[in-house]
């Protein structure tokens, strides 16, 4: 793989089209990912929130060490704030400031316990249930729903009332509050997980062979972090408030001091009637300010976790110059002409050894009214061949591609037929009988797939490097880190994306670049077959042309075979060696592309050809050179 020449990219990449810059300037180096990527942009809201939360947190942590005994009774009785007693004293002469320090610590302990436990419970029941599905999900859902319909506060009062006073420590109260407060969050997390589970990048990770726990922790969890973080924040404040409510009713933690118990004693001591504001206002203010601080931080959580929402800092000095260079426009018209004629672009018409044989394949969707989506399909893919699969929407192209790769899911079912992969090493693999683990190892390593709408198959919160690296760590766990990095750079270089972009997040790339990254990802393990399902549909024709030209060139250089699926038959005429035309699940015409171009035999093929504006010129000229020569 190392003797490969870089590709000349198309115009959509901006400057770094002709492979990596030999002397990348600082502004074009990969952006730091990892911890640095988690540093949010400062905003007044975030700063105020942090000051409030950290201030109160530190007061709760260290305050009790600095004040006297909050329970020490003094005969002086109730006094207003003074130099000796900053927040005055209670009816029995106890120091309110000392009480406040201890009570803040007690309440924060309970809030934190409730926050952690409730978030964990909701994550387990919501995320795991939503991702695993089936009976587990149904069981978890039922349990969450039952917990949800039980009225929280009365249940807490009953449970707290039943726990003997001597056992009602702060952790018991925390436990009771957590158990009664996680269900609503679990439902939200489940709904979100169900939606994420079907996203392209999660499907792509599954197909790339990532294990279940890894898909959940790497692909799904980072996208749920904003939700989890805000649920954590609100569980803390809800815990503090609920505990205050319980204490106020005399059902709070026994033997410990919290802001709730302070309010309870202030109420019993007729603080309001005696106008002793210093007794009840401080605990109320601490609760309000802490909640306010958490809410302000919560506003910034999305931005901390979602790289898309971060406002980039303007570059300084050299970096600014480098960026100007990076965005310098590249003449689109000239790009094709400047591309050196690749040695391998001459179309190879010779018969090739087969790499994939599909024989009499039938796929049926077992729905109320079964759909026979693939009917007796037989095709042979030659080693290094580009086979175009054309057909209108609904003709069964995607179903066929999924069935070849065993990606079809119920209600789809392979009713009969065979799919045989002829390995480069000599052996034949019957794909329809492979076990799960064999299939996991086979996919991506020998046959990879670029999905429909591939540009959306990248996880938005993970850098390109991490996403490419994931495939390598999954399939080649022993590969050293430096080699993995080098391989990621190599494949990006091959598809004409500057390797300096490895540190970028998907939203920082153009649609064409994301598409190229997906093709690079499909090439990572040097597969023998790549199935591309409408990989360029969402792109404009110029970008499309650049990508198609590169697919041809890469195929010529690396020798993989391609099944290219699209409804765009003229495009296939440009690209493919052979073309299979599908209609209503059947292959109605299967021939050399030249033959279909010159003499389409089936009326449906002719109809498909007529439904697109003519590209004119020699077949393949438009994609390869951008020229349209008259016939
Ligand atoms: N989950 C499903 N349940 C029932 N029928 C389905 C399901 N998915 C697809 N089909 C049917 O199978 C047939 C083939 O669909 P398929 O998606 O393979 O077509 P396609 O040629 O790839 O279309 P497109 O180009 O629009 O993606 C269609 O008639 C479709 O309605």
**Ordered mean pLDDT values, 10 residues apiece, the chain (631 residues):** 34 34 35 47 84 94 88 80 85 89 93 94 92 89 88 75 76 86 91 82 78 84 85 90 85 82 87 86 93 86 63 48 36 34 36 84 88 91 90 87 87 90 86 86 87 75 89 88 91 86 88 85 88 77 75 82 86 87 90 86 82 54 43 35
Q: Specify the fold of 354-440+567-625.
A: Rossmann fold (3.40.50)
Q: Where are the domains of the chain?
A: 45-60+100-257+284-309, 354-440+567-625
Residue with CA nearest ligand 1 atom 4: 365
DSSP string, 456-478: G-S-TTS-HHHHHHHHHHHH-TT
pLDDT value, residue 450: 86
In sequence order, what are the beta bridge partners of 276?
Answer: none
Residue 501 CA to residue 522 CA, distance in Å, equals 17
Taking Cα atoms as reference points, which of 183, 140, 582, 588 lies closest to residue 394? 582
Residue with CA nearest ligand 1 atom 28: 394
Q: Tell me, what DSSP letter sits at residue 125?
A: I
Residue 464 CA to residue 627 CA, distance in Å, equals 34
Residue 33 CA to residue 468 CA, distance in Å, equals 14
At 357, phi and psi to the nearest 5? Answer: -125, 120
Give the three-state DSSP class for 117. Answer: helix
| pLDDT single digits (tens) 89-125 | 888 888 999 999 999 999 999 999 999 999 999 999 9
Contacts of 146 (CB under 8 A, 6+ apart): none
Q: Tell me, what DSSP letter sits at residue 95?
A: B
Q: What is the 3-state secondary structure (H, E, C) of 101-113?
A: HHHHHHHHHHHHH
pLDDT value, residue 370: 86
Output Rg (C-alpha) for the chain, integer angstroms: 32
Residue with tokens 């503090």: 240
Ligand 1 interacting residues, C-beta cut-off 6 A: 365, 367, 371, 373, 391, 393-399, 411, 567
Contacts of 612 (CB under 8 A, 6+ apart): 568, 569, 570
**Would you state the structure tokens that stand for residue 195, as one six-digit string?**
């939606």
Atom of ligand 1 nearest to the CA of 534: 25
Q: Which of 363, 372, 395 to mutate to test the pocket of ligand 1 (most atoms within 8 A of CB)?
A: 395
Element (H, E) at 625: helix 621-625
CA of 394 to the centre of ligand 1 (A): 5
Beta strands 354-365; 412-422: pairing state: antiparallel
Class of domain 45-60+100-257+284-309 as given by CATH: mainly alpha
Element (H, E) at 354: strand 354-365
Residue with CA nearest ligand 1 atom 24: 393
Cα maximum dimension of the chain:
110
Q: Are the CB atoms for 625 and 549 separated by under 8 Å?
A: no
Atom of ligand 1 nearest to the CA of 400: 18
pLDDT value, residue 372: 92
Residue with CA nearest ligand 1 atom 31: 394
CA of 565 to the centre of ligand 1 (A): 14
pLDDT value, residue 319: 43
Residue with CA nearest ligand 1 atom 25: 393
CA of 551 to the centre of ligand 1 (A): 26
Q: Are the CB atoms for 299 and 230 separated by under 8 Å?
A: no
Q: Which of 396, 572, 582 to mutate to test the pocket of ligand 1 (most atoms within 8 A of CB)?
A: 396
CA of 399 to the centre of ligand 1 (A): 6
Residue 12 CA to residue 492 CA, distance in Å, equals 15
**Would you state the structure tokens that stand for residue 340, as one six-digit string?**
């050196």
Shared fold status for 45-60+100-257+284-309 and 354-440+567-625: no
Q: Which of 367, 399, 569 to mutate to test the pocket of ligand 1 (most atoms within 8 A of CB)?
A: 399
Q: Are the CB atoms for 520 and 491 separated by under 8 Å?
A: yes
CA of 393 to the centre of ligand 1 (A): 8
Q: Indicate the pTM of the whole model.
A: 0.63
At 443, phi and psi to the nearest 5? Answer: -60, 145
CA of 575 to the centre of ligand 1 (A): 24
Compute the residue count for the chain.
631
Residue with CA nearest ligand 1 atom 22: 398
Residue with tokens 């310098």: 328
CA of 190 to the centre of ligand 1 (A): 27
Atom of ligand 1 nearest to the CA of 567: 25
> Measured in whole angstroms, how far is the alpha carbon of residue 256 from the centre of its chain?
43
CA of 371 to the centre of ligand 1 (A): 9
pLDDT value, residue 594: 87
Atom of ligand 1 nearest to the CA of 399: 18
Q: What are the percentages of helix, strand and coil residues in the chain, rounded to 5?
A: 55, 10, 35
CA of 214 to the centre of ligand 1 (A): 30
């Amino acid at each position: 793989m190392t003797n490969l020449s870089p590709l000349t990219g198309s115009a959509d990449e901006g400057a770094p089209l002709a492979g990596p810059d030999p002397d990348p300037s600082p502004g074009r180096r990969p952006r730091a990912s990892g911890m640095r990527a988690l540093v949010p942009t400062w905003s007044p809201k975030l700063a105020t929130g942090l000051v409030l939360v950290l201030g109160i947190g530190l007061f709760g942590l260290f305050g009790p060490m600095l004040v006297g005994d909050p329970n020490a009774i003094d005969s002086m009785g109730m006094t207003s704030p003074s130099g000796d007693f900053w927040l005055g004293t209670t009816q029995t002469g106890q120091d309110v400031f000392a009480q406040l320090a201890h009570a803040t610590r007690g309440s924060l302990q309970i809030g934190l316990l409730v926050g952690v436990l409730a978030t964990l419970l909701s994550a387990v029941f919501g995320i795991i249930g939503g991702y695993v599905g089936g009976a587990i999900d149904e069981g978890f859902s039922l349990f969450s729903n039952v917990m949800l319909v039980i009225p929280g506060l009365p249940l807490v009062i009953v449970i707290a009332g039943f726990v003997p006073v001597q056992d009602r420590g702060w952790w018991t109260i925390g436990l009771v509050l957590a158990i009664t407060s996680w269900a609503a969050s679990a439902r939200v997390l489940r709904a979100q997980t169900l939606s994420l589970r079907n996203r392209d990048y999660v499907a792509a990770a599954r197909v790339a062979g990532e294990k279940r726990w890894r898909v959940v922790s790497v692909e799904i969890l980072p996208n749920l972090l904003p939700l989890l973080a805000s649920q954590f924040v609100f569980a803390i404040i809800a815990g503090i408030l609920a505990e205050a409510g319980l204490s106020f009713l005399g059902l709070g933690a026994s033997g410990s001091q919290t802001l709730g118990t302070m309010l309870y004693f202030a109420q019993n001591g007729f603080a309001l009637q005696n106008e002793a504001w210093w007794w009840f206002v401080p605990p109320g203010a601490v609760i309000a300010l802490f909640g306010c601080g958490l809410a302000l931080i919560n506003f910034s959580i999305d931005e901390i976790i979602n790289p898309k929402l971060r406002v980039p800092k303007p570059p300084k000095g050299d970096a600014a110059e480098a960026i100007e260079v990076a965005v310098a426009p590249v003449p689109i018209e000239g790009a094709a002409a400047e591309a050196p004629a690749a040695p391998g672009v001459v179309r190879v018409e010779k018969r090739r050894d087969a790499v994939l044989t599909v024989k009499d394949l039938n796929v049926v969707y077992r729905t109320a009214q079964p759909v026979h989506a693939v009917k007796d399909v037989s095709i042979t893919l030659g080693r290094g061949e580009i086979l175009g699969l054309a057909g209108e929407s609904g003709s069964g192209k995607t179903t066929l591609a999924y069935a070849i790769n065993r990606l079809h899911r119920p209600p789809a079912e392979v009713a009969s037929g065979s799919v045989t992969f002829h390995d480069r090493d000599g052996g034949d693999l019957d794909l329809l009988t492979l076990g799960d683990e064999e299939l996991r190892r086979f996919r991506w390593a020998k046959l990879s797939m670029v999905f429909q709408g591939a540009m959306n198959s990248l996880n938005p919160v993970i850098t390109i490097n991490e996403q490419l690296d994931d495939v390598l760590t999954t399939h080649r766990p022993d590969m050293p880190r430096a080699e993995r990095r080098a391989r990621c750079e190599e494949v990006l270089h091959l598809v004409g994306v500057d390797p300096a972009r490895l540190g970028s997040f998907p939203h920082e790339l153009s649609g064409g670049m994301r598409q190229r990254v997906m093709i690079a990802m499909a090439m990572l393990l040097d597969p023998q077959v790549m199935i591309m399902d409408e990989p360029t549909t969402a792109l404009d024709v110029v970008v499309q042309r650049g990508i198609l030209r590169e697919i041809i060139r890469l195929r010529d250089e690396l020798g993989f075979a391609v099944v290219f699926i699209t409804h765009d038959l003229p495009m296939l005429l440009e690209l493919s060696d052979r073309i299979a035309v599908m209609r209503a699940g059947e292959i109605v015409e299967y021939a050399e592309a030249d033959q279909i171009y010159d003499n389409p035999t089936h009326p449906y093929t002719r109809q498909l050809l007529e439904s697109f504006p003519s590209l004119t010129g020699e077949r393949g000229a438009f994609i390869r050179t951008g020229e349209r020569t008259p016939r």
